[in-house]
Structure 1
């Protein structure tokens, strides 16, 4: 899925300006206000209105100084804050979507083992229910409980990582198509509306992870103004919830692209797949061999 995410995000680098630079201005203003209030006067708005009074830090400056702050200093600080938030978001994405680095191997193994144990217990309960009298509602509830942990046996320490990995596993298990090698070719046969839906899902995922990055960055003003801790927790919680929803959407749309256009991809590559027929694992294995080219 790393290939899929990278391909979807290529044309959207410019949107980081909207996602990070504009919120950076709000962040810089909020940080300045937090430093002005401090822990002691955390709820005193009078300390903020004093900034623009005659003897305040802003009211006592010349017009040129105020313009310098507004036109030069504020955009630079906002951009720096945006880059810092982007760095925090990239680090979070690395932990949520990819295998963890070797330095975190021990906690990664423990978290993965705990998630695998939960999944196996839910799977065993589901299988046991299958052996008895069929109760559709009960089976659906048990399947939903198992799928809430992961759609496939967990191999990653996070839900997001396993949700994206499940696309690779499910497409390979059903069609014998390799997602890494097949995705760039599949993208070329998708309809414009299908491509746009995938891009929109990726944009929403970027925005959600960026919101989590801002949540992490908001911990810095909390050193001066303790209510910022609640703001940081709120931003991170909302961003995490949106991230999970966006990851699920990206995964569903990517898998749907293989379901709907896998046979078309095979036909475009010259393989014999009758019209209105689905891609079989046998043909899918031949397509994968062709795409890998002995790699």
Structure 2
């Protein structure tokens, strides 16, 4: 039984995405902080026995009130999910402080990308010119580089670069601007593929929310427990969970980017049909048509010259 159930709600009422992305992390963070307070912090030395005694004194109305508080916080924070992900991506503004923080982090990302480029570059002195395949290590390095890093400009975080790489490369081989075309392609994607995309996006949003929630909980519990060194392991452990959640968010971003690529590969012609545009005869014609379409939808310009209306 979850906290929302105690106040008369269930996952069907709230929606599975809200329950997973917003309610679950908020509930987990609240329970950790509530445990620390129930254990006696910050007024006295925390203890497990004190936490158990406090928990036993709670009645149904106390738990329901806690459930309402968690639900309200989750509802208030849910619309900010996109801003949270963008914050973790490294969109921190253009002010002086943001620039000072961003510069060394971007340099670190650039060095990591350069190391992959060097691993993927074949040495003519040691490479057999007659070889028909690329060495495995070089191939893997090139694949990782393309998945994790876009061309310049780089963002200061691994999550931001993984998502930017996906946005820049999905559909690019066909001349499509994924950022512009994705909102138009998504509604016509078949349910099976849409479920894959949504599942991977939910994984990304959940791990990003877990990262932010655990980081906040680590700060709060550190403030409550700073006078009790024996309990410092708790905020440190929560902080470690935040770091782990961030790494999971990067992995989820790579998986989400792969789903975007597959969707453009399989259903880009359905997009042209939905826009009543003729199907191209070959790859060159496709790229030319898609580039013109992307430019028209992004910033105006010459409109399509002909439409193809299905009978």
Is the CA contact (8 Å cut-off) linking 1:215 and 1:236 kept in structure 2?
Answer: yes
Question: Does structure 2 retain, via aligned residues, the 8 Å contact 1:176–1:285?
Answer: yes
Q: Which residue of structure 1 lines up, in the alignment, with residue 176 of structure 2?
A: 177
Q: Is the 8 A contact 2:22 2:209 kept in 1?
A: no
Q: For 1:123, which of 109, 117, 120 is the aligned residue? A: 117
TM-score using structure 2 length: 0.71
**Residues 133-212 of structure 1: pairs in structure 2 closer than 5 A:** 133=128, 134=131, 136-143=135-142, 146-147=145-146, 150=149, 152-153=151-152, 155-171=154-170, 173-212=172-211
**Cα shift readout 1:32-82 (whole Å, capped 9, x = no counterpart):** 234x1559744x4333344478xxxx48xxxxxx4543333x234434664
In the TM superposition, what whole-angstrom CA distance separates every residue of 1:164-215 from its partner, at most 9, and x where no partner exists? Answer: 1112322464222122321122113211111111111111112111211221
Query: 2:87 pairs with 95, 115, 124, which one?
Result: 95
Matched, 1:45 2:48: yes
Distance 1:197 1:178, change over 3 A: same
Q: How does 1:1-295 map to 2 (within 5 A)?
A: 12-13=17-18, 15-16=20-21, 18-20=23-25, 22-23=27-28, 26-34=31-39, 36=40, 41-42=45-46, 44-51=47-54, 58=57, 66-72=59-65, 74-79=66-71, 82=74, 92-97=84-89, 99-103=91-95, 104-129=98-123, 132-133=127-128, 134=131, 136-143=135-142, 146-147=145-146, 150=149, 152-153=151-152, 155-171=154-170, 173-219=172-218, 220-225=220-225, 226-273=232-279, 280-292=286-298, 294=300
Cα distance, 1:236 vs structure 2: 0.4
- Equivalenced residue count is 273
Unaligned runs of 5+ in 1: 1-9, 60-65
Query: Highest relative contact order (Cα 8 Å, sep 6+), 1 or 2?
Result: 1
Greater displacement, 127-136 / 110-119: 127-136
Structure 1 residues 200-209 or 262-271, which shifts more?
262-271
If the length of structure 1 is used for normalisation, what is the TM-score? 0.75
1:252 & 1:244 partners in 2: Cα distance?
Answer: 13
CA distance in 1, matches of 2:144, 2:196: 28
Q: CA deviation at 1:291?
A: 2.9
Show the counterpart of 1:63. none
Alpha carbons of structure 1 residues 84 and 27: separation in structure 2 relative to 1, 3 Å = farther
User: Residues of 1 paired with 2:299 and 2:41: CA distance?
Assistant: 64
Task: Return the offset for 1:249.
Answer: 1.2
